[in-house]
Chain A
């Protein structure tokens, strides 16, 4: 089965060969990999010469995202299909940082905005967060309304970027 994943917003094609409980084999960039989950933060990889490599990988699947930490780096992995669901490309889309409630929407579809301009205010964890334009553009879609409860990672606003 072929799958598109987004790793820190970088698109990756993976061919899954085998996926059972605690074991996975896949093809990535023309190379075959085989991994087993041994413990909460421990994954091992099987090598051709019958030896095994140990990898400390902190990971937590939360909703549709997997939060990962390998060495000193942090990653977020998600299925590309999930993200595309709202019909929006990644670029020019403002995503809710966490679950919360939409308090106020200052713009409407068709409005031109400049980078950094406030589009809406949401409340999450008792704090207000202002969602700002990631680039200059025209608002092409508003997926939420005032008072609405939203999940984290949801595309709130889509922008048509002006290049």
Chain B
């Protein structure tokens, strides 16, 4: 059996649109890409075999304009839509509309999306099938003595949270039994003031959490597989910046347990396609992990999984959507070597991660895999996510991958913009990172160590020299324009 799709529309932009086009080309499937008036110079605008301008305006009129996107599909004879990540990728309503229009949505069923998109509903379902959840009390009975009893049942430290809450208000960490009453009163008072509702819930407080996620892939024939884990504990402002596979925190036994839980979930919800099950791993209790949520789409950080498994996840998504059986068996998969992905952002880590804008004079070239939606001469505006690129390296072990990542970072300056490159290299060279002490509070805990170093004499002298020497006589920009394709070298299949 072969893939039945003749033409795929990519309902996305930037690096992920270019990424999906690459696989379509390899599969000999024609593809359609979208762009807006403001994006005419960006490489994704002309990445497809056909491209359609969505005009300009707010996202709801362009990339989130469901009816317009479906109309384009019909006009151009598109058989399937790849939603990428973000935008409409987890929109069950869109998925239903697309299906009704006779077009295949490359992703799971709307039912799976609705179920896993609902935080409460998904946890209830997980409880039913015996998936470990963060121990907690979510009941209506708010009697203080009962709450205290529940807290000791869960085991200290616990976290008291406002049921109606968010933003840290009405939240208290309680270390021991004797502090419970006072903290409960304070949390209730704060919750009452902030939300007009003083109901609270109690959860186990995890001091040293790691973010571990399992990549899953299921076909329409009941085959549910996993593609091992990714560790994404290094985050700033709750956004991942360094991702790797494998995780140093998992031994064979724990990996087996976590991946089995992941496929138990996909079986239980009759999942189709690529997905990610996110877990919190408790750094203080060996082997304790809890279900957090499931993302029913391709993830930003999917390349590290591709690197260690040798699989093309977009290709698998397309094959599965087309009704094909998975081309491999779980037993045949091996996690080989070590891969690290760094997210290069246009932002200033030394000034509250303030997004930066400007013109990119030089992206740079590297042998590593660089998934980016920008090329030399492009301007970065504040209208989209400040992620400039994903730099993905591969080596036989973690130490080698760290070295490769540090080298590659130097090769892609995104000259003209303030980026987080140096901050990333400070993380990668931090003793605790090298030792694998990667918890979600890493950048907060080692904030002082991650401050920039003073410029040394060599750096100063080079900066002075480059300034005084000026530009070379030929126009640098025109010489350097190249397609983003050239930079996808190093992409392993």
Chain A positions within 8 Å of B, measured between CB atoms, are 5, 7-8, 10, 12, 14, 16, 19, 22-24, 26, 28-29, 31, 33, 35, 37, 39-41, 43, 45, 55-62, 66-75, 77-78, 97-98, 125-127, 129
Selected contact of A26 from candidates B421, B468, B470, B472, CB within 8 Å: B468
B362-A41 in contact (CB<8A): yes
- Residues of chain A with a CB closer than 8 A to B382's CB: 127, 129
B464-A68 in contact (CB<8A): no
CB of A6 to closest CB in B, whole Å = 10
Q: With an 8 A cutoff between CB atoms, is B253 at the interface?
A: no
Q: Who on chain B is nearest to A29 by CB?
A: B457
- Residues of chain B with a CB closer than 8 A to A59's CB: 415, 466-467, 469, 471
Selected contact of A33 from candidates B38, B358, B362, B465, CB within 8 Å: B465
B467-A72 in contact (CB<8A): no
A58-B463 in contact (CB<8A): no
Given A7-B463, A26-B464, A56-B410: A127 and B362 interface contact (C-beta under 8 Å): no
Which interface residue of A55, A56, A67 has the most chain B CB atoms within 10 A? A67
- Residues of chain A with a CB closer than 8 A to B358's CB: 97-98
B468-A60 in contact (CB<8A): no
B466-A28 in contact (CB<8A): no
18 contacts between A and B (CB under 8 A): A7-B460, A7-B463, A10-B455, A12-B464, A28-B464, A33-B461, A35-B469, A40-B472, A45-B465, A58-B364, A59-B466, A59-B467, A62-B361, A68-B467, A73-B422, A98-B357, A125-B379, A127-B357
A69-B413 in contact (CB<8A): yes
Q: With an 8 A cutoff between CB atoms, is B322 at the interface?
A: no
A97-B357 in contact (CB<8A): yes
| Chain B 449-481: CB-based contact to A (< 8 A → 1; otherwise 0) | 000000101011111111111111000100100
Q: Who on chain A is nearest to B358 by CB?
A: A98
- Considering the chains assembled together, what is the distance between the CA atoms of A55 and B410 in angstroms? 12
Q: With an 8 A cutoff between CB atoms, is B418 at the interface?
A: yes
- Residues of chain B with a CB closer than 8 A to A127's CB: 357, 381-383
B457-A31 in contact (CB<8A): yes
Q: Who on chain A is nearest to B428 by CB?
A: A72
5 tightest CB-CB pairs across the interface, nearest first? Answer: A69-B413, A35-B465, A59-B466, A77-B467, A60-B361
Q: Who on chain A is nearest to B364 by CB?
A: A58
Selected contact of B381 from candidates A14, A37, A75, A126, CB within 8 Å: A126
CB of B383 to closest CB in A, whole Å = 6
- Residues of chain A with a CB closer than 8 A to B359's CB: 62, 98
Q: Who on chain B is nearest to A12 by CB?
A: B460
- Considering the chains assembled together, what is the distance between the CA atoms of A37 and B473 in angstroms? 11
CB of B295 to closest CB in A, whole Å = 30
Q: With an 8 A cutoff between CB atoms, is B419 at the interface?
A: yes
Given A10-B455, A29-B457: A77 and B463 interface contact (C-beta under 8 Å): yes
A39-B472 in contact (CB<8A): yes
- Considering the chains assembled together, what is the distance between the CA atoms of A125 and B37 in angstroms? 12
